[in-house]
Chains A and B, each alone.
Chain A
Amino acid sequence: MDGTTQIITILILLLTMVVSVIVTQFIRRRRDLYTLRDIPAYRALPMVVGEAIEANRPVHVSFGSAGLGGASTPLALASNELFYQTAERAAIGGVPPILTVSDPTAVPLGQDTLRRAYQSRGLLDRYRRGSVRWYPAGPRSLAFAAALTATLGDDRVSANVLVGSFGTELALVAEASARRNRTVIASSDQLDGQAVAYALADQPLIGEEIFTAGAYLGGSPSQIAGVVTQDVLRWLLVAAIFIPAAIAVGDAILNGRFSLAISRLLGGG
């Protein structure tokens, strides 16, 4: 890693850390400080879980090929937060939620998530380790999609929350779900999977929305601060893209005099 990249990385991490900690304190004092924009998928999720409980059927949640120890670790933890919120709501029902994974490192993560969800409801005796299922397959495997499609029928799944790392194989699961008239909430960190989710899911989550589940469904100050930090970084990135682009356009129109004028304005040459 060269020196400039090092410095920029450290600055971004420090900025993220500082904003996250400060905003958490502000939100702890005033809960209504920041209004979260509406995300239909998160609005629909409690209702979807409620319908599953009434129908005495399981909710199926899946990590796809996201797991721990690789580049998809933060995604796996973000999906995990969504699954925790889903499982916590579904725990009061008669049928436990089903959590499917393709990466074996997500098996203990999923088991712990379900255990914590049942524990938080004081229903730990209802928790079953078999609710987490490993379908061995490589990343973006169609065999994994085929296994999920079979699960929908065999376990009479009520709704699917497919949030993790999926490719185009997501289309097969979503299509099978649509044929059974089951709700699908879906998203992926892979672009092709994301496109399929947008087209086929009843409620798609787009891009970074996966990472905001805790703030929308849990609502703790630190989780909301995470969303605010994302927004701050996003606006800084917009400025970092827009300002040089505006200068380049200005220079092209004014034959290089635009950047010179700005330089003089800021006290330079």
Chain B
Amino acid sequence: MGRLLAAVSSAIAIGFGLLTLVGLLVGQQIPLFATLTDIFLQLVVITAAVTILIGIFNLLAVHTSRIGRRRGGWVYSIVLVISAAGVLLLYILEKAGVLTGQPAITTVLLETVQVSIESALAGLVLFALVYGAYRMMRRRVTWGGILFTLVLLVLLVGALPLPGLDLIASLRDWLLAVPVSAGARGILLGIALATVVASVRILIGQDRSYRE
């Protein structure tokens, strides 16, 4: 039975994948494939929307279980569950027309809570990176580590708005335009090739994720 299910799921995945691929490649010449592709992509959007509900249930289940078992951080879980329920209630009231303020209160909450917290955390990223360079050099001095630290220093110093740093600023611009850009393209090309191979493996049924 398990094998039959695996075969059926493989056939469905391969069939839908190939039809979508054909639709994307020759949809302009053969409209039927373009229509099919559109329908499949709409189904994907609907399924993705449903997964948000799965996510909300997951979130509430994880945190209510944490509260029930008094596991580490359970007090924060209480705050999370109350906040989630509160925001959900506010949103329902907004949609029902009970709360009519402009801007919407849920938007205000998002901007004043999440955006502020994220801005504060963004400031910490720089320190984490500098600490990373220090940690890297302390662990083992390698050519890669030296290069990373030097480039980090040049980028940081080159970004300073001080007079007399024109040479370092030019060096910084050159670093970003030539070696960094070249390296970035190399990595992106590698990822793109691997993505093609991974996609084809799924299309020909060599990937295991939907077979078991």
Q: Which residues of B1-53 have CB atoms within 8 Å of chain A's CB atoms?
A: 21, 24-26, 28, 44-45, 47-48, 51-52
CB pair B26–A168 under 8 Å, yes or no, is no
Residue count of chain A within 8 Å CB distance of chain B: 78
CB pair A16–B197 under 8 Å, yes or no, is yes
Q: Note all chain A residues with C-beta closer than 8 A to B186.
A: 207
A80 at the interface (CB under 8 A from B): yes
CB pair B44–A77 under 8 Å, yes or no, is no
CB pair B196–A155 under 8 Å, yes or no, is no
CB pair B55–A134 under 8 Å, yes or no, is yes
CB pair B184–A191 under 8 Å, yes or no, is yes
Q: Which residues of B159-212 have CB atoms within 8 Å of chain A's CB atoms?
A: 184, 186-191, 193-204, 206-209, 212
Instruction: Please pick, from A113, A171, A223, the residue contacting B125 in the complex, using a CB distance under 8 A.
Output: A171
Q: Note all chain B residues with C-beta closer than 8 A to A108.
A: 51, 54
- What total of A-B pairs shows CB separation below 8 Å? 184
Q: Note all chain B residues with C-beta closer than 8 A to A208.
A: 190-191, 193-194
Residue count of chain B within 8 Å CB distance of chain A: 61
Q: How far is the CA of A136 from the CA of B184 in the complex (A)?
A: 29
CB pair A150–B191 under 8 Å, yes or no, is no
Instruction: Please pick, from A67, A174, A210, the residue contacting B194 in the complex, using a CB distance under 8 A.
Output: A210
Q: Note all chain A residues with C-beta closer than 8 A to B54.
A: 104, 107-108
B70 at the interface (CB under 8 A from A): no
User: Per-position contact with A for B104-141: 1 when CB-CB < 8 Å, else 0?
Assistant: 00000000001001100110110011011101100000
Q: Note all chain A residues with C-beta closer than 8 A to B191.
A: 75, 189, 207-208, 210-211
CB pair B118–A198 under 8 Å, yes or no, is no
Q: How far is the CA of A77 from the CA of B136 in the complex (A)?
A: 31
Label chain B's interface by main secondary structure: helix
Q: Note all chain A residues with C-beta closer than 8 A to B136.
A: 199-200
User: Per-position contact with B for A111-127: 1 when CB-CB < 8 Å, else 0?
Assistant: 01100100110000000
B58 at the interface (CB under 8 A from A): yes
CB pair A200–B132 under 8 Å, yes or no, is yes
Within the complex, the shortest CB–CB distance from B188 to chain A, in Å, comes to 7
Closest A residue, CB atoms, query B47: A69
Q: Note all chain B residues with C-beta closer than 8 A to A172.
A: 121, 124-125, 128
CB pair B209–A69 under 8 Å, yes or no, is no
Q: Note all chain A residues with C-beta closer than 8 A to B190.
A: 207-208, 234
Instruction: Please pick, from B52, B131, B187, B193, the residue contacting A191 in the complex, using a CB distance under 8 A.
Output: B187
Q: Note all chain B residues with C-beta closer than 8 A to A222.
A: 201, 206
Closest 8 CB pairs of A and B: A104-B55, A208-B194, A171-B128, A154-B73, A211-B194, A142-B121, A207-B190, A208-B190
List 6 A–B pairs whose Cβ atoms lie within 8 Å, in order of A's numbering: A81-B208, A135-B59, A168-B129, A172-B125, A207-B186, A226-B201
Interface residues, chain A, with chain B CB atoms under 8 Å away: 1, 6, 9-10, 12-13, 16-17, 20-21, 24, 67-69, 74-75, 77-78, 80-81, 84, 104-105, 107-109, 112-113, 116, 119-120, 129-130, 132-136, 141-143, 145-146, 150, 153-156, 168-169, 171-172, 174-175, 178, 189, 191, 194, 196, 198-200, 206-208, 210-212, 214, 222-223, 225-226, 229-230, 233-234, 237
